[in-house]
Amino acid sequence: SQTIHQWPATLVQPVGSPLSLECTVEGTSNPNLYWYRQAAGRGLQLLFYSVGIGQISSEVPQNLSASRPQDRQFILSSKKLLLSDSGFYLCAWSVLGRGNTGELFFGEGSRLTVL
């Protein structure tokens, strides 16, 4: 069966510090991978998605970046965090293609507080 894990679960960082959140998927190959952010009291905002190694699509311009160094690994980074980067970050995967209708399966989430 497929599993998805992301870490760290909780992170408190000062403004201006770097960020690295990591997500890995097991039990499937060539998944589509996604990073969403959920700000307090708000819905889910798609940040990045990737359909393959090294292929990153950005949905929202910001000081965050994403990378996919391996097929089942997705990393969210920042060189300098802003207060507005605080939120709950969710990694997700899906498989598109015959017989798959693209529902997303989410990781446990990473709660980031920028002080």
Burial tier of 110 (Cβ tally within 10 Å: 0-12, 13-18, 19+): buried
Least Cβ distance, residue 16 to another protein (angstroms): 26
- The strand pairing partners of 89, in sequence order, are 37, 110
Q: Is residue 103 part of the contact set for another protein (CB under 8 A)?
A: yes
Distances (CA, A) of 51 to 74, 86, 110: 11, 26, 22
How many residues in total does the chain contain? 115
Q: Is 43 an interacting residue with respect to another protein (CB under 8 A)? A: yes
Segment near another protein (CB under 8 A); pick from 22-30, 67-75, 79-87, 99-107: 99-107
Report phi then psi at 17, rounded to 5: -85, 160
By CB under 8 A, the residues from 46 to 75 that bind another protein are 46, 49, 51, 57, 59
Closer of 49 and 78 to another protein (Cβ): 49
Instruction: By CB under 8 A, tell whether 109 contacts another protein.
Output: yes
Residue 69 φ then ψ, to 5°:
-75, -25
Per CB under 8 A, contacts with another protein among 2-31 are none
Please give the residue ranges that form the binding site for another protein (CB under 8 A): 32, 34, 36, 42-44, 46, 49, 51, 57, 59, 88, 90, 92, 94, 96, 101-109, 111
